[in-house]
């Protein structure tokens, strides 16, 4: 549907009002047939309440195909609409007033009238508590509007010096904030000078309509069975490494099911690309942005888990809907949780029974870890104390051991084994008094309660 044409009456300085503006301004006798050209509301209270625009809104709802039956309303109007209303009120009323940044009669009146029009067609379509929203954004083309209408307006700096509107926007391409706008209008009102701003600089409003839905969060735990799979997409010097990531393998099927625009991945920590994630899995949550599907049955979530797990690279368990307020539990748990590991160690010199005894500790002890060399490019240099709660080992053959340990979150296990050139103390190397290397590492479990109940 095309936007309304500029009213020809304006060329004759005929400031006619639409019916709704006349009622709002208390000037019923000023009502004229503006043909969608009312400049007090930039056509909003006239053209955008007609049946063709109501049909446009309903078609937008139909096209989005959301499983939410009712919608709240969100309106965005530019400051130009405030100014248009102010100028017409100044023209049609003799008393002085002060504009309020928190209240725009055009916006409030339009919202009430639009609700009535929508309910006439679909009685249950409006619910101001709904998670889905019909968004209507109005724009008005008026490039020289502020400089023409505010030629007498000034604005005070903190030091008391007055600034003209041109000074205020000299380096901001004419952009003005809501608060500055109100100051300028009220400054114009306070001026004793008489001026008659031209309303030819007002064009009629254009509108865009779109649907948004509050994000849906699906949480669970994932296991990773590949030693070549990064948790998130991995880039080095702008080049992608690997075809997939844990995030993509989990989020892509979810986005497809939800009809979501995009997603955000959250997890309680991360494992190295060459480490598997075993045990009960790592807690995670996916935020699905602007989904058309917001409701899920247990059967749908179970089927979703089977689809994700069919890749054989990852497995997801315990999928469930998560309240946004519970996501902080994931972040807080990053540094509060305990983690279990299984590391395969290698030594050129055969491991003795005495070596096994030294690596079997039932009581917790502390280690000091400088930021590992391998992460210095992305982590600040510092020394962090970490706790090893217990550890035990199992001989695999003369030169290989399986070391099982439970650590504080954030401990670097690889560096605890080989010592990182003395940057981690004590280490397995320092405890045994010789070089010991790590062959492979698995995260055996993440001890964090997830899912949690609201």
In angstroms, rounded to a whole number, what is the distance separating the alpha carbons of residues 428 and 78?
66
Q: Do residues 220 and 305 lie in contact, with contact meaning Cβ atoms separated by under 8 Å?
A: yes
How many C-alpha atoms does 94 have within 13 Å on its Cβ side?
A: 0
DSSP state of 420: T
Contacts 24+ apart (CB under 8 A), 361-366: 361/388, 361/390, 361/391, 361/392, 362/390, 363/390, 364/388, 364/389, 364/390, 365/426
In angstroms, rounded to a whole number, what is the distance separating the alpha carbons of residues 262 and 220?
19
Q: How many C-beta atoms lie closer than 10 Å to residue 373's C-beta?
A: 11
Q: How many C-beta atoms lie closer than 10 Å to residue 312's C-beta?
A: 8
Active-site entry in 272, 354, 362, 420: 272
In angstroms, rounded to a whole number, what is the distance separating the alpha carbons of residues 108 and 344?
68
DSSP state of 60: H
Phi/psi at 63 (5° precision)? -65, -35
Q: Provide CB contacts within 8 A for 268, sequence distance 6+.
A: 282, 283, 284, 330, 331, 333, 334, 337, 446, 448, 450
Q: 46 an active-site residue?
A: no
Distances (CA, A) of 215 to 67, 268, 295, 321, 454: 14, 20, 12, 11, 17
In angstroms, rounded to a whole number, what is the distance separating the alpha carbons of residues 70 and 78?
27
In angstroms, rounded to a whole number, what is the distance separating the alpha carbons of residues 447 and 281?
9
Of 354, 413, 423, 420, the C-alpha closest to 388 is 413
Q: What is the dihedral of CA 27, 30, 31, 32, to 10 degrees?
A: -160
- The catalytic residues are 272
């Amino acid at each position: 549907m095309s936007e309304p044409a500029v009213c020809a009456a304006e060329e004759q300085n005929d400031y006619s009002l639409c019916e709704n503006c006349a009622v709002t301004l208390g000037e019923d006798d000023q009502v004229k047939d503006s043909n969608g050209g009312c400049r007090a509301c930039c056509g909003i209270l006239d053209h955008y309440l007609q049946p063709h625009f109501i049909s446009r809104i309903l078609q937008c709802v139909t096209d989005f195909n959301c499983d939410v039956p009712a919608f709240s309303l969100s309106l965005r109007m530019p400051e130009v609409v405030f100014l248009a209303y102010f100028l017409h009120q100044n023209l049609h009323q003799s008393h002085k007033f002060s504009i309020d940044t928190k209240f725009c009669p055009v916006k409030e009146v339009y919202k009430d009238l639009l609700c009535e029009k929508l309910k006439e067609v679909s009685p249950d379509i409006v619910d101001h508590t709904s998670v889905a929203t019909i968004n209507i954004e109005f724009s008005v083309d008026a490039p020289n509007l502020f400089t023409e209408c505010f030629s007498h307006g000034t604005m005070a700096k903190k030091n008391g010096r007055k600034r003209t509107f041109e000074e205020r926007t000299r380096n901001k391409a004419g952009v003005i904030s809501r608060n500055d706008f109100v100051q300028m209008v009220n400054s114009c009102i306070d001026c004793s000078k008489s001026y008659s701003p031209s309303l030819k600089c007002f064009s009629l409003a254009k509108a865009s309509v779109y649907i948004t839905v509050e994000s849906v969060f699906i949480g669970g735990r994932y296991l990773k069975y590949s030693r070549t799979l990064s948790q998130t997409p991995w880039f080095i010097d702008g080049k992608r490494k690997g075809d997939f990531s844990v995030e993509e393998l989990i989020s892509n099927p979810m986005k497809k099911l939800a009809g979501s625009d995009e997603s955000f991945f959250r997890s309680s920590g991360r494992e190295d690309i060459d480490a598997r994630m075993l045990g009960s899995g790592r807690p995670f949550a996916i935020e699905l942005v602007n989904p058309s599907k917001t409701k899920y049955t247990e059967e749908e979530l179970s089927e979703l888990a089977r689809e994700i797990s069919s890749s054989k690279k990852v497995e997801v368990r315990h999928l469930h809907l998560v309240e946004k307020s519970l996501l902080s539990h994931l972040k807080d748990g990053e540094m509060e949780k305990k983690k279990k590991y299984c590391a395969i160690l290698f030594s050129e010199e055969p491991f003795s029974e005495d070596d096994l005894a030294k690596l079997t500790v039932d009581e917790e002890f502390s280690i000091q870890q400088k930021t590992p060399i391998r992460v210095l490019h992305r982590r600040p240099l510092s020394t962090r104390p970490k706790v090893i709660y217990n550890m035990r080992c199992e001989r695999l053959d003369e030169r290989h051991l399986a070391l099982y340990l439970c650590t504080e979150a954030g401990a670097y296990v690889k560096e605890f084994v080989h010592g990182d050139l003395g940057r981690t103390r004590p280490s397995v190397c320092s405890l045994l008094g010789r070089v010991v290397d790590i062959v492979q590492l698995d995260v055996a479990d993440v001890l964090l309660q997830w899912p949690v109940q609201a």
